Structure 1
Amino acid sequence: MTSLVIAEHDNASIKGATLNTVTAAVALGGDVHVLIAGHNAGGAAEAAAKIAGVSKVLLAESAGLEHGLAENVAAQVLALAGSYSHIVFPATAAGKNVAPRVAALLDVAQVSDVTKVVSPDTFERPIYAGNAIATVQSTDKVKVLTVRTTGFDAAASTGGSAGVENVTATADSTSTSFVGSEIAKNDRPELTAAKIIVSGGRALGSSDKFTEVLTPLADKLGAALGASRAAVDAGYAPNDWQVGQTGKIVAPQLYIAAGISGAIQHLAGMKDSKVIVAINKDPEAPIFSVADYGLEADLFTAVPELVQALG
């Protein structure tokens, strides 16, 4: 039994989600291979070879794979699928783009958002915004999985000594081509990889107040900034800051929620955080039910005092 992890990378290095996905693949038992599908991606392949638990790295290179177009990556995975019992993707935007194509073309059922490996054919995944956990058994010969990265610890990025094997790249798709990308620039840590996150809700009242109150705290802590869906919908924060079931799923070491009531869709995106601190003046706010530390206070007073206390 051998699993194939589809790495997320930028051709030069491996993205953090891949490390969590490798941990899930190791839990399946058997060997773990990693596919680097890219262009001039030798750096990413070398980084993948050092990941603890990886026994082989497959490197497929072509210009059509440089930007991770789903059609081209899916075709590359399909060309290799016959050798594997499990094909494992991180449940990121990129993984969710490719995995369903692979599952459909293999005519198998995809198991999404796996948070625990019970056995090689049985998995746990959250449903109903995380309020229930479904145990799913797959009888398909090849199992296509996406892994919720917050459910698994990251594998060590060093200590491995896997070999790198070049494989023939598949032909580029004629139906799609890469035109361009607009990447949001941010000096802060990327939200899903941040160890500390400071999030704000609709109670902040405006985008100016959002920046005025929360930015100093985030600066003191070296934290990423997040927001509830209500704050994003109100225009207080950009879309890529949204934490929750319809935003980003995060599990930092410390999550500070200021002025967030704790709607179920928000809790689904952050309740796996190691330590949760909630600041809200409503003692009945649902956020307090998942918080390790709760402060019943006006955030416009409490947050500046916290910044001052941090020096």
Structure 2
Amino acid sequence: MRAERPTVPPATFRSYYGRPILKEPPWKVPDVPLYLFLGGLAGASASAAALADLTRRPELARVSRYAAAVASSSSVLALIHDLGRPRRFLNMLRVLKPTSPLSVGSWILAPFSAVAATAAASELTGVLPRWGRAAGMVAGVLGPAMSTYTSVLLANTAVPAWHEYYPELPFAFGGSALATAGGAALLATPLAESGPARRMAVVGAGMELAALRRIERRGGIVGEPYRTGLPRRLFTAGRALTSVGAGLALTGRRTRAATVAAGVALLAGGLCMRFGVFYAGRASARDPKYVVLPQRERRRRHA
């Protein structure tokens, strides 16, 4: 007896009137992607400056302190520009809510920016060097949290492409922060003191590339935004630039041109990665299938 043929086509997913289920993040471009990038760069640079100070590498400490101050201040400005009014940023500091990544992140960003700027100002003017060094140490302690809290902030949202990859995003952001901070230091640090910056850049690049590879290889429908369209092109460019930068950091130890090229490539690679993650999240919030189909799959598994 022959099997009966279906009389209707297979059902396909669609939402009511094709409308998105989640509201697409209203954050501005390039403000928020730059905020993500600059915060990571600032945090890792501050930690590098503190370690360089402890190991008596004054030039590396100086360059990294300046990088931390400029990046953190620019990060605050990008966030304020996205919010629209400076007062809105101050309102975020009225309450400290430990269960909210946004609240905790605001309380990391504000004091970090203050102490990083204090350390850089003391370094530049020579005024109150002990206080400047103490401020630099405080910024160095806060550096790891500054480098990674934005990944926790994204993963704590309902945006599928961010929430689904909460185990990988902190490693991707932390590794990128190390790589870009190392790259920034390579731009202006003398070759004689650039060894720690090179090692930091290579370790960070390896961590970032491994996390991105895991994101792309985990499969599943939620990972589609990372593998298609603009995010895919940004990820491809970011991986290539980061790999080239790490390679030049290892092989170009004796030439200034290769060292500067390594720094530029590492910074550009980290910037592409942040923009890629941002656009992937937007794409996943825009299409309702990334919200509903994973929920149905989880329900079937636990039924």
> Shorter-chain TM-score: what band?
under 0.3
More helix, by proportion: 2
Calculate the TM-score normalised by the size of structure 1.
0.25
Bigger-Rg structure (1/2): 2
Higher relative contact order (CA 8 A, sep 6+): 2
More strand, by proportion: 1
Calculate the TM-score normalised by the size of structure 2.
0.26
